[in-house]
Structure 1
Amino acid sequence: MPTAPIPPHVPRRAVLRLGAALPLLSLAAGAPRAFAQVAPLAGAGASFPSLVYTRWAAAYEKSSNQPVSYKPTGSGDGIKQISAHSVAFGGSDSPLTAEDLAKRKLVQIPMLVGGIVPVVNLPGVPEGRLQLTGELLADLMAGRIKTWHDARIAALNPGLALPALPVRRIVRADKSGTSEGFTKYLSAVSPAFAQEVGASAQPKWPGEVEAAEGNDGMAKALKAAAGTLAYVSYDRVRRDKLNGVKLRNAAGQWVAAGESGFRSAIANSDLSRKGDDLASLMDREGLESWPITMTSFVLIDAAPAKGADAGPVMSFLYWCFMHGDDLTRGTGFAPLPVTLQSKLAARFASVKPLDGKLPPYLGL
């Protein structure tokens, strides 16, 4: 069977990246290039990567005339909705196990990498100046430190005028992959936090906390009140000009969140070394590595009723692999390693329509 031609406007770099998927493309060579005049592809789930997904969707619609919508409802809801087939794809920052994927009949695809950042609203404290160790951050989030001018915080921040304000914690109200990633890190660096709170997508926080919906709700609540502490994705720190905390990483360096720190975490993990898309990116080695780095995933139906039903969403995700890197740069997220991307489009072969027909999809 001849190989399907690659459209001339597809970057050569992207073609090399997805060389492993060409046998699949040849089978779909007769498929239409776009899915125009149809209902929007609906996605829902993780708020962590939602601004990037929205950016991808807008660019894809210009390229294909296929509208795509994405609602940042939280990872838990994304998993719930794709499992119920009420959306074309679900976003999650909490990867499912192979057993759970098989049970739910889903295919899981990593899309990008980003970071969770503790943020504060502290009058008089300049942006990016507050330094906390992971252990101290865990004590703050567990409610064990009550005021911002606590001696332990002051000892890490000599010369910084800390306000005599009570610590007010803002947490996610929804079931959230961001919360799960954040509490995984805190549990790893603090045995006391692991025992008292633990890692969870919807943790039971000790004491009195304020709850907010999604990353955007967290940012809004933080800006509304002095003395607050929250955790959001790094892109919200940039967009909303929030005061991000510096953390001490595994190399003992004080680091601020940023794309270079996420790339360092990737390079020092099995995500890069072995292509393991479930590998932890938390607290990795490397002088620049940001300690709370995580991968975000998309889930799609592994057994749609018809092959034609799966074609539009697979075309969109394939297009994201082909063009997403350039659109991701400067957003506060980092692309997946090229060596991993070259394998992921072949994962679409795991989609087995019940009518036995191959889903028609092509890179546009």
Structure 2
Amino acid sequence: MIFFTSSLRRLVTTSAVAISVVFGTAMAASAQTVTLNGAGATFPEPLYQRYAAEFAKQNPNIKVNYQGIGSSGGIKQFTAGTVDFGGSDAAMTDAQIAAVSKGVILVPTAGGAVSVIFNVPGVEKLKLSRYTLPLIFTGQIKRWNDAKLVRDNPGVNLPDLPIRLAVRADGSGTTFIFTNHLSAIDPSFRKLVGPGQAPKWVASPLKGKGNAGVAGVVKQTAGAIGYVEYSYAKNGNLETALLQNKKGQYVTPELSNANKALATFKFPENFRVFEGDPTDGYPIVGLTWLLVSKDYDAAKAPAIKKFIQWALTSGQKINGSLEYTQIPEAVAKRVIQVVNSSVK
């Protein structure tokens, strides 16, 4: 009987220790894992998803989630504090920055071209001048065989087909990049529509949510023309127009031409850039930013710093493979210094 009691005590003690070790290990693992949730622009969504996957391989205790909901949504959620970081293709305005109670740092992560995509039966190559593109998106050119478009495209058989505009249904940084360019090159467009994430279009366009939504609308609609980030056009096998740049050259939105444009950008101390008409390369190119708070808890502050440093160093090597431009190294170093010194 004494032997049985002693054995039972040893069994209970051993089991208790084992449970304590397992429970303690699980709690420690849980405590060490930090999750950073972000939301915003769809323009860089493919890139940020790749960032998150690659970063996790090297930093298994930091999980990064990103949801593409549009730049306006990203700014709103970040300002409300419902996400740890936001994403926007439009640099925040002074008023938007002032509304963020914990402060904000705009972290440029990539650049990219906004492609003008079209679906015109029988037409595979289309040129659009600095004169005709704004006229199309203000509804002043209504048919594909308009004499102005014919002059842009000698030898191309443009059909007698109505032009159907396709734009974003949601507030969008891609829309800002696009309308910012058209406003920069055409005073009439600036007056009628103007630059913005959700402008009031003069015509009655078709609408799609996100870059993917606009790409889908154009692909399914004969006579449609719209705008999307270049990777959506390329991956969707959509026809893209050659646009006339400031030098008068007709250029494609491929990466090399986007890089030429980005090389002309000047980055101020706050890293906000509103360039609408670069002097070289593809004319509709913009940046995308992560919106980072200056105030996190003790676990998330070092995690966000680590992620930003990785994104602006190792992560930049991924950009080109997904058709995004890299941030100039000197600029990236400045951004990392600001984040490391300002995030608490």
Question: What TM-score do the two structures reach when normalised by structure 1?
Answer: 0.81
Which residue of 2 is the match for residue 283 of structure 1?
A: 277
Unaligned 5+ residue runs, structure 2?
1-28
Paired with 1:35 and 1:329, the residues of 2 have a C-alpha distance of 35
Which residue of 1 is the match for residue 121 of structure 2?
A: 123
Paired with 1:136 and 1:35, the residues of 2 have a C-alpha distance of 58
Query: 1:78-118 CA deviation, whole Å, 9 max, x = no partner?
Result: 01111111111100011124564244122211111111111
Deviation of 1:199 after TM superposition, in Å, equals 0.9
Paired with 2:292 and 2:330, the residues of 1 have a C-alpha distance of 22
User: Among 286, 289, 296, which residue is 2:288 paired with?
Assistant: 296
SS of 1:295's equivalent in the other structure is strand
CA spacing shift, 1:173–1:250, aligned 2, 3 Å: same
User: Among 27, 31, 38, which residue is 2:33 paired with?
Assistant: 38
Kindly provide the amino acid, as one letter, of the partner of residue 320 in structure 2. R
Paired with 1:36 and 1:266, the residues of 2 have a C-alpha distance of 42
Deviation of 1:171 after TM superposition, in Å, equals 0.7
Paired with 2:81 and 2:274, the residues of 1 have a C-alpha distance of 29
Paired with 1:36 and 1:170, the residues of 2 have a C-alpha distance of 47
Contact kept, 8 Å, 1:101 with 1:107, in 2: the verdict is no
Paired with 2:269 and 2:251, the residues of 1 have a C-alpha distance of 26
Query: 1:8-28 CA deviation, whole Å, 9 max, x = no partner?
Result: xxxxxxxxxxxxxxxxxxxxx
SS of 1:178's equivalent in the other structure is helix
**Pairwise CA RMSD of aligned residues?**
1.9
SS of 2:256's equivalent in the other structure is helix
Deviation of 1:276 after TM superposition, in Å, equals 7.3
Paired with 1:109 and 1:92, the residues of 2 have a C-alpha distance of 10
User: Among 316, 319, 331, which residue is 2:322 paired with?
Assistant: 331
Paired with 2:257 and 2:295, the residues of 1 have a C-alpha distance of 38
Which residue of 2 is the match for residue 82 of structure 1?
A: 78
Structure number with larger C-alpha Rg: 2
State the number of aligned residues: 313
CA spacing shift, 1:36–1:285, aligned 2, 3 Å: farther
Paired with 2:80 and 2:58, the residues of 1 have a C-alpha distance of 29
Paired with 2:48 and 2:140, the residues of 1 have a C-alpha distance of 37
Paired with 1:230 and 1:213, the residues of 2 have a C-alpha distance of 12
Which residue of 2 is the match for residue 15 of structure 1?
A: none
SS of 2:312's equivalent in the other structure is helix
Which residue of 2 is the match for residue 27 of structure 1?
A: none
The yes-or-no answer on 1:223 pairing with 2:216 is no
Contact kept, 8 Å, 2:34 with 2:300, in 1: the verdict is no
User: Among 253, 260, 266, which residue is 2:262 paired with?
Assistant: 266
Matches within 5 A, 1:102-121: 102-104=98-100, 105-121=103-119
Paired with 1:192 and 1:224, the residues of 2 have a C-alpha distance of 30
Which residue of 2 is the match for residue 49 of structure 1?
A: 44
The yes-or-no answer on 1:343 pairing with 2:339 is no
SS of 1:319's equivalent in the other structure is helix
| Comparing 325-334 and 262-271, the one that deviates more | 262-271
SS of 2:195's equivalent in the other structure is coil
Deviation of 1:207 after TM superposition, in Å, equals 2.6
Contact kept, 8 Å, 1:270 with 1:276, in 2: the verdict is no
The yes-or-no answer on 1:156 pairing with 2:152 is yes
Unaligned 5+ residue runs, structure 1?
1-33, 354-364
The yes-or-no answer on 1:140 pairing with 2:136 is yes
Paired with 2:233 and 2:193, the residues of 1 have a C-alpha distance of 25
CA spacing shift, 1:313–1:36, aligned 2, 3 Å: farther
Kindly provide the amino acid, as one letter, of the partner of residue 278 in structure 1. R
SS of 1:67's equivalent in the other structure is strand
CA spacing shift, 1:135–1:35, aligned 2, 3 Å: farther
Kindly provide the amino acid, as one letter, of the partner of residue 259 in structure 1. L
Paired with 1:154 and 1:70, the residues of 2 have a C-alpha distance of 44
Q: What is the identity percentage for the equivalent residue pairs of Structure 1 and Structure 2? A: 33
Deviation of 1:269 after TM superposition, in Å, equals 2.7
Deviation of 1:300 after TM superposition, in Å, equals 1.5
Paired with 2:341 and 2:99, the residues of 1 have a C-alpha distance of 14
User: Among 53, 58, 72, which residue is 2:53 paired with?
Assistant: 58
Paired with 1:257 and 1:276, the residues of 2 have a C-alpha distance of 27
Paired with 1:311 and 1:163, the residues of 2 have a C-alpha distance of 58
Paired with 2:283 and 2:206, the residues of 1 have a C-alpha distance of 25
The yes-or-no answer on 1:177 pairing with 2:173 is yes
Query: 1:127-160 CA deviation, whole Å, 9 max, x = no partner?
Result: xx10001221111111111111111101110111
Paired with 1:292 and 1:35, the residues of 2 have a C-alpha distance of 45
